Structure 1
């Protein structure tokens, strides 16, 4: 599977899953291998991980293309330390700041793209001319600026991020902030009712129009009244919360007109949790290339979870299948399509009792 390598696919995938799904650093895996009486260098393990992920890159590229063809796309960013500062930087030797920019498509696929910048340029580079539809994000201004410059993109924003500003204002304005939070909670009660009723499409849209639209209109009017009549200073936490939502009234209302748009980015926030969780274990990536590799493997593991696939079973199969699969059909190896075509009879590692050679010898 890896040229000039004696490593079985079970070892390769075991390294990947332990490191990137269960956040077990390679040095700990190396210690465990040594305790089992096996002599192998840590540099060998690192090279095996790198070479395995390189084989998976075309699959993630195909998944990225699928996501960019979504009608509704959620996007976010989360920081990571990657690579070292170089001369003439006065902070030579310290880790540089980088960012993962996860993108979540409407077919429940996610990719983690990496950039050493948090600027609008990365959004432009990723979305290019391929994406046309609704871009769902938090309140970071770079998304709004990008969407405003595009004729084919509608910008929707997250109610949960808006809610956080009122939570911060509760200490100084417990009654008003709590009232705002209660109004927002009613929106989510309606969303929960939609799920319980199993509504979608036009029925979901009509439910939001009948039950949620009046709540949203009242909320924005209430915010406007508080801002005009309370004599709040611009620096006041409640004033900041009110201004935040009023400036975003249009983007916070998009979900009312499109039943496929969620009112928040919670689905994306849940998917990117492995990054901050892993950050507590491996702290940083030694190189920016290492960060890109992390993004590749995490894209596949996270998407496997979204489709109820076992990442180990999936990776064991595709690392063997990719060398024999037509390059023109690499999209069939993305977790979503792999589940339809290959999940019922996946390729197994040689040490697996279910491998055909093992069964024939029994």
Structure 2
């Protein structure tokens, strides 16, 4: 999708203001503008034309226009809205974050420093009378810093026979060989860090190169990519196993986000639910969180020319016939619906709520009512989480407390439309019609066990992809995009399992032969048992 507006930041806006005098001067003296001035003028004209067109066709509200132009933050950042809709949820989330729930902290290395000047039983040097004895030791926790990649030069002593010329070399210690083979320059631990920095921290290859040069350990960007590719090769069997296991999941979160692959060419793809084909060029990263029967979560990503619905199709194609109909949580876009297998499509209430937030400036009282009622629903869901209700008990609780609220919002919307107190084509009218049209999917969490209330979990997970996209801008080839998908999927799944991803990646490389033969033994939750 093309960008509707051209970003004009503060300095550019100042330049645009000063451009007026330069245009007047050029007109008076019959002079040409510089290429930079021409481009700035074109950007301003295109933005103005697009704004006027959308406003003239009632395609965008002023509130949404301010968001698109970056003047106003997204609806989720509105303090007044969040205060009502997320008050209890924020408290519980912050508590989990502070306590580090679900993650295994790295234990500090314990170093004992023995007394050298005084020993047990010696005379006290202060009073010269008493004897000293052992007591509670002192303690200091010190966090140290160093370059992420530390070079070590291992020099092996060698001997040579003066008769046959045979060489004899000192063996490398086990501590060195466990991090790589004898001729391997970059250890498994270094490769793991490179992969995590790139595909979780969003640190592009060239930036890793720049940082290492700054710290005195030079590594080229191409070298970093080569080492990350080796990590991908070693963990790929685990990714394949995760993909296969995810096909039999009970619940899926599903969404996608735009991306770029420079070398990608338009391809002819079949139109869904049709025998026709058409040329496709839109590139998306699709994300899925598959929840298994044992409540383990698998996170998978795929970047190519295709939508999230096509990605979930590729997963469901492997689904066992004995498995029941899955539940898929997504937004209401038709492109997200699977065609490979029949599924229950539950819809995201955050998207429905956002329709009302976008028109809050024009209809404050009406929108305030909807947000207040939605806030009660999310409060009910937070209560169910805090009480750790079973799926059956959670469903009963929502049926008793949330379903009446959903019905009240539905009746409120129908009354406005029927009584013509709200224009159907207005912003509020469109928000009401969206809620009424998708009411069944939006209220599934009140009618079916295990259905979630919103799609926020996968949207939050896609921020890993967005972070990398904002920093690296694009993938060069489809191969590079696939490497990113594999590494990011395993990182995200291991993170959901609460394990140390760095140790996990290093272990998978050390035991690559066993991982290739039996990848099911090295899934993140099985790795916890082994460790």
TM tier relative to shorter chain: 0.7 to 0.9
Consecutive unaligned residues in structure 1, runs of 5 or more: 88-95, 345-362
The residue aligned with 2:36 is none
| CA offset digits 1:270-293 (Å, max 9, x no partner) | 222111122221111111221111
Instruction: Kindly indicate whether residue 187 of structure 2 is the aligned counterpart of residue 8 of structure 1.
Output: yes
Q: Which residue of 1 aligns with 2:283?
A: 98
Q: Is the 8 A contact 2:515 2:521 kept in 1?
A: no
Q: Aligned partners of 2:515 and 2:412: how far apart in 1?
A: 59
Deviations 1:90-135 (A, max 9, x none): xxxxxx7521111101122211122212374444333225173111
CA-to-partner distance for each residue in 1:315-346, whole Å, 9 max, x for gaps? 1111112223462x3122222322222xx3xx
2:328 to 135, 141, 150: 135
The Cα offsets for residues 4-46 of structure 1, whole Å up to 9 and x where unpaired, read as 7432101111211111222221112223333454454432222
Pairs within 5 Å for 1:1-362: 5-38=184-217, 40-84=219-263, 97-106=282-291, 107-118=296-307, 120-128=309-317, 130=319, 132-144=325-337, 146=338, 150=341, 152-325=342-515, 327=517, 329-341=518-530, 344=531
Q: How many residues are paired up? A: 330
Root mean square deviation of aligned Cα: 2.4
Distance 1:321 1:38 in 2: 28
- In 1, distance between residues paired with 2:454 and 2:182? 45
Match of 2:82 in 1: none
- Confirm or deny: 8 A CA contact 1:115 1:122 kept in the other structure: no
State the distance in 1 between where 2:218 and 2:313 align: 47
Alpha-carbon distance in 2 for matches of 1:86, 1:211: 52
SS in 2 for 1:70: coil
Q: Is the 8 A contact 1:67 1:103 kept in 2?
A: no
Residue deviations 1:176-222 (CA, integer Å, cap 9, x gap): 11111111111111111112222113222211121112112222111
Instruction: Select the structure with the greater relative contact order (CA < 8 A; seq sep ≥ 6).
Output: 1
TM-score under structure 1 length normalisation: 0.84
Is 258-267 or 26-35 further displaced after alignment? 26-35
Return the alpha-carbon distance in structure 2 between the equivalents of residues 39 and 114 of structure 1. 31
C-alpha displacement of 1:85? 5.8
- Does the aligned pair in 2 maintain the 1:109–1:336 contact within 8 Å? no
CA distance, structure 1, for counterparts of residue 233 and residue 419 of structure 2: 60
Task: State the shift of 1:231 in Å.
Answer: 4.6
- CA distance in 1 between counterparts of 2:522 and 2:453 reads 31
Verify the 8 A CA contact 1:82 1:288 in the aligned structure 2.
yes
- Are 1:82 and 1:97, in contact at CA under 8 Å, matched by a contact in 2? no
> What are the ranges of 5 or more consecutive residues in structure 2 without an aligned counterpart?
1-179, 267-280
Higher-Rg structure is: 2
Q: 1:2 to 1:157 in 2, by over 3 A?
A: farther
SS at match of 2:303: strand
